[in-house]
Amino acid sequence: MQHHPGRPDGLFPLEDLLPPETDRLSADTASFRDSPAAARMLDVREIHAEPEAAASARGREIIARFPRARVVEVPSHWRIPGLHGDRGSAARWVRVKTETLVLGVRKTFTVRPNGRSADWIAPGPSNGCAMACAYCYVPRRKGYANPITVFTNTDRIIDRLGRHVAAQGRKPAPNQCDPDAWVYDIGENGDCSVDALVCDSTADLVAAFRRWPTAKASFATKFVNPDLLAYDPRGRTRIRLSLMPTEDSRLLDIRTSPVAERISAAGDFLEAGYEVHFNLSPVVVRPGWEEAWAGLLRELDDVLPPAVKAQAAAEVIMLTHNRGLHEVNLGWHPRAEEVLWRPELQETKVSEGGSRNVRYRSGAKGAAVDRLRELIAAHAPWLRVRYAF
* Whether 215 contacts 165, CB under 8 Å: yes
Given phi > 0 = left and psi -120 to 50 = alpha, else beta, which region is 112? beta
Q: Shortest distance, CB of residue 82 to ligand SF4, whole angstroms?
A: 20
Q: Shortest distance, CB of residue 318 to ligand SF4, whole angstroms?
A: 15
DSSP string, 282-304: EE---TTHHHHHHHHHHHHHHHS
Given phi > 0 = left and psi -120 to 50 = alpha, else beta, which region is 321? beta
Q: Shortest distance, CB of residue 206 to ligand SF4, whole angstroms?
A: 19
Contact window for ligand SF4 (CB under 6 A) among 12-20, 129-137, 313-321, 355-363: 129-137
Q: Distance between CA atoms of 120 and 215, rounded to whole angstroms?
A: 10
Contact window for ligand SF4 (CB under 6 A) among 133-141, 230-238, 264-272, 330-338: 133-141
Among residues 44, 53, 54, 129, which is the contact residue for ligand SF4, using CB under 6 A?
129
- What is the number of other CB atoms lying within 10 angstroms of the CB of residue 345? 16
The mark string for 190-209 relative to ligand SF4 (x by CB under 6 A, - otherwise) is: xx------------------
Among residues 138, 260, 345, 364, which is the contact residue for ligand SF4, using CB under 6 A?
138
If the CB atoms of residues 56 and 257 are measured against ligand SF4, the closer one turns out to be: 257
Q: Shortest distance, CB of residue 179 to ligand SF4, whole angstroms?
A: 27
Instruction: Quote the Cα angle for 89-10-96, to 5°.
Output: 25
Q: Distance between CA atoms of 250 and 239, rounded to whole angstroms?
A: 22
Instruction: Quote the Cα angle for 39-127-182, to 5°.
Output: 115
If the CB atoms of residues 20 and 190 are measured against ligand SF4, the closer one turns out to be: 190
If the CB atoms of residues 129 and 228 are measured against ligand SF4, the closer one turns out to be: 129
Report if residue 304 touches ligand SF4, rule: CB under 6 A: no
Q: Shortest distance, CB of residue 259 to ligand SF4, whole angstroms?
A: 13
Instruction: Please list every residue from 108 through 127 that binds ligand SF4, using CB under 6 A.
Output: none
DSSP 18: S
DSSP 66: -
Instruction: Please list every residue from 165 through 194 that binds ligand SF4, using CB under 6 A.
Output: 190-191
Among residues 44, 105, 122, 131, which is the contact residue for ligand SF4, using CB under 6 A?
131
Residue 191 burial (CB < 10 Å; 0-12/13-18/19+)?
buried
* Whether 210 contacts 51, CB under 8 Å: no
Q: Shortest distance, CB of residue 256 to ligand SF4, whole angstroms?
A: 6
If the CB atoms of residues 190 and 233 are measured against ligand SF4, the closer one turns out to be: 190
Instruction: Please list every residue from 237 through 296 that binds ligand SF4, using CB under 6 A.
Output: 256
The contact set with ligand SF4 (CB under 6 A) reads 129, 131-133, 136, 138, 190-191, 222, 256
